[in-house]
Amino acid sequence: MTVTVRVPAKVNVQLAVGPARPDGFHDLANVFLAVGLYDEVTATPADALRITCTGPDADKVPLDRTNLAARAAELLAARYGRSPDVHLHIAKDIPVAGGMAGGSADGAAALVACDALWGTGASREELLEICAELGSDVPFSLVGGAALGTGRGERLTPLEVGGTFHWVFAAADGGLSTPAVYAEFDRLTPHAGPPEADPVLLAALRTGDPFALAGALSNDLQPAAVSLRPSLKDTLAAGTKAGALAALVSGSGPTTAFLAEGAEAARGIAEALMASGTCRSARTATSPAPGATIVSGSATSF
Ligand code: C5P
């Protein structure tokens, strides 16, 4: 038997960051929105835990136990007293180390795939617990849609989304390290206040109005990402010049996100970004998107 799980990328439409906590993490008001760029993780029985990966960025994906897909299999296996012998193949389409939760997505997808393959039948609460252990963004990859993440981002409250949003995502050359971006945030923002969700932004999501959302997008990590990668300023300017309603860094970057009025505008912005020479590639995607979903092997979605 083989189980394949499809899992979306995310963009943070608001990322409010508080001061560093004693455990090194930061309290967040993190408004996640899942976008329709997907990785697929396929789990097949094997003699030992093995990870393989294909896709344009496959050479940048670690194939050892540091891969969140491997750690997901290990955590689930340990909890159910079995060995984590499984072949996990990642068909990677989400930018690597790009601020779109690609690694987290693979962790959530591997967890759902192994649970189905092994018949462990973990509850949704158990799966969410394991996700939170894997990383701050992993629970959201499991649930998808839109959600407010508090704590370090792992405590989720689902949010209503009243329409389809059209985006362009521009991938940069090379990734950015999330801890390095948070450290730069600490340096630039020594007196960060408590993070709070913006009611105007939540209302914009609810109504599905791209103009209202454009006016409310915010990312406290953006100055830190731009400080570490100044060329992002040129990418943001190129998308704005091409007619994006708003431009921002996605999460800890370096992927940049551009909100468009509709599908046609998004295509035009993607073409202009490609022609601008300020990014490696640009592609369109819509949101919201469903969370980790079994696409072959059985038919459960979370
Ligand atoms: O939770 P995750 O493993 O994805 O976090 C990676 C790193 O990002 C952490 O080690 C920490 O440096 C930083 N981080 C943070 N505050 C958060 C989430 C992540 O400082 N809320």
Tell which residue, 216, 212, 228, has the closest CA to residue 178.
228
CA 137 to ligand 1 centroid distance, Å? 9
Q: Which residues of the chain carry a pLDDT beneath 70?
A: 298-302
CA 264 to ligand 1 centroid distance, Å? 36
**What local confidence, expressed as pLDDT, does residue 197 receive?**
98
Q: Which fold has domain 3-158+288-296?
A: Ribosomal Protein S5; domain 2 (3.30.230)
CA 25 to ligand 1 centroid distance, Å? 6
**What local confidence, expressed as pLDDT, does residue 294 receive?**
97
Would you say 14 and 31 are in contact if contact means Cβ atoms under 8 Å apart? Answer: yes
- Which sequence positions are flagged as catalytic? 10, 137
Question: Taking every pair of C-alpha atoms in the chain, what is the biggest distance, in angstroms?
Answer: 56
Q: Give the residue extent of every domain in the chain.
A: 3-158+288-296, 165-287
Question: Which mutation among 17, 134, 156, 182 tests ligand 1's pocket best, with the greatest number of atoms within 8 A of CB?
Answer: 182
Atom 14, ligand 1: residue with shortest CA distance? 25
**What local confidence, expressed as pLDDT, does residue 212 receive?**
98
Entry pTM? 0.96
Protein residues whose CB sits closer than 6 Å to any atom of ligand 1: 24-26, 28, 135-137, 152-153, 178-179, 182
CA 153 to ligand 1 centroid distance, Å? 9
Domain 165-287: homologous superfamily in CATH = GHMP kinase, C-terminal domain (3.30.70.890)
Question: Which mutation among 23, 25, 28, 71 tests ligand 1's pocket best, with the greatest number of atoms within 8 A of CB?
Answer: 25
